[in-house]
Amino acid sequence: MEALRAELAALVEANAVVERRIGAVLGLARAVSAGDRQGAGLVLEAAEVVGRGEQARHGQLIQLLGQAERVAVRRAGLKAWVVSHLDVSDGKARGIVQAAKSIGALPELAESLSSGKVGADTVRALARTAKAVVGSGQDQATELAATLKTARAEGVGAANRRVRVLEHTIDPGGSEELLAKQRAKSFLRVIELEDGMCRFEALLDPVRATVLRVALDQLVADWIRRRQFDGASPIPADVRSTEQISAQALVHLAEVFLAASPEQRGAQFTAPVMYTAELDGAEDGLAESVYGALVPRSAITDPEHPNAHVLHTRNGEPVLLDGEEIDRDPGARLASAAQRTALAFRDRYCTYPGCSRPPTWSLHAHHKISYRQGGRTVVKNLSLLCSEHHTLTHHPKP
């Protein structure tokens, strides 16, 4: 114990010296003039030294935690300790502890983990390898050496692929179970920002992610090729970087879906209203999206965006849909698709008192003044009612 305590004290002192040295190097790096190629090379050398040191410390941390797990003296568990002492997230702490339990105490990995040449991603690949071979009859040392060799020769991506194949070989049914878990974890979130922009966050399983990525990659590649080699302009001029083109491609996929037939898109619905604008407003005014964002009206009348369905209102009542009059046949018996679209936007829900069923419940277009009594089929004389309350309105209970 005394020897360990003495070495720990010496380590703390040595770390303080290293921190001072790194601080001095940072100060000198800040003094290097812009355009000094020799100075830039030295700065990169310093970054490599610090990076190697960080990787070595990570590997040594895994080993120390592995020994702490072996001693097993903490009742609360290692993860809680890592979270509270090392300032990492709960998820990252879980990964560190799992690696420590799987490979931290293995003597055959001690040299590699302390070398500074094994990064955190490779450590995770090694931990997965160790976990996969437990109880399988496979030689753990051989598989770990193979994973480490693959990571060094071909990169951590190839190492992870090797581990995936190993996991499937040992437990073929595990692939289906893993995919089911990944599908359960998948999500898409839309975060509205203060300026009206939206951030889309998605996590998809490999199968669905492949479908979306292939569609985006093919479209982006086609646009870039046509712009570079054909002199064409398939996308707006202000869309330049690959990231901007990818964003445009994602929106284009949605435009194609909205323009497709119900059979092609596998969904039955009439053209949705995306924006509203006051008909008597200024031509260079603003329009409002169905989600409340204000945008220049000129942006949604662009012929390149045919799916930007616009509902024009006058005194709050819908009168035009995509420039076409909504109430085109007041004598018709049933409401038209355009009228149903306008009602869905205006009423939003079943209008029966106390009912909040949305248009997705296939709400009925109810004549306020009965059609049999001369009521016209115009938006002003129509309202949305769900099936139950439509029946109740015409046939009140005694």
87: pLDDT strictly greater than 80: yes
Domain limit, last residue, from 213, 235, 265: 265
pLDDT in tens, 89-122: 998 999 999 999 999 999 999 999 999 999 999 9
- Is 9 domain-assigned? no
Q: Is there a single domain that holds both residue 376 and residue 311?
A: yes
Domain that holds residue 260: 188-265
Handedness of CA 231, 238, 258, 299 (dihedral sign): negative
pLDDT tens-digit series, residues 145-156: 999 999 999 999
Same domain, 151 and 25: yes
pLDDT: is 375 or 360 the higher one? 375
Same domain, 105 and 146: yes
How far is residue 131 from each of residues 32, 125, 135, 143, 166, measured CA to CA in Å?
Answer: 47, 10, 9, 11, 11
SS3 state at 379: helix
> Which of 171, 204, 220 finishes a domain?
171
180 or 284, which is more confident: 180
Q: What is the pLDDT at residue 76?
A: 62
> CA 346 from chain center: how many Å?
32
Whether 151 and 192 share a structural domain = no
**Confidence class of residue 207 from pLDDT cuts 50, 70 and 90?**
very high
If you compute the radius of gyration of the chain from its CA atoms, what whole number of angstroms results?
A: 32
Q: What is the DSSP letter of 211?
A: H
Please tell me whether residues 330 and 357 are part of one structural domain: yes
The residue out of 171, 204, 236 marking a domain boundary is 171
178, part of any domain: no
192 domain residue, yes or no = yes
What percentage of the chain exceeds 70 in pLDDT?
Answer: 94
DSSP letters for 71-128: HT--TT-HHHHHHHHH---HHHHHHHHHHHHHHTT-GGGHHHHTSS---HHHHHHHHH
Phi, psi (deg, nearest 5) at residue 317: -100, 130
282 in the same domain as 259: no
Q: Does residue 384 form part of some domain?
A: yes
Mean pLDDT of 364-376: 93
- At 198, the amino acid letter reads C
For residue 160, pLDDT over 60 is answered with yes
Q: Which helix (H) or strand (E) holds 314?
A: strand 310-314
If asked whether residues 21 and 161 sit together in one domain, one would say yes
Quick one: tokens of 192?
């509205």
- Give the pLDDT score at 25: 94
Number of domains in the chain: 3
Q: Is the pLDDT higher at 180 or at 301?
A: 180
Return the SS3 of 203: strand
**What are the pLDDT digits (tens) for 224-251?**
999 989 988 888 889 999 999 999 999 9
pLDDT in tens, 281-307: 544 578 878 777 888 877 776 555 555
Q: Are residues 157 and 195 in the same domain?
A: no
Q: What is the pLDDT of residue 127?
A: 94
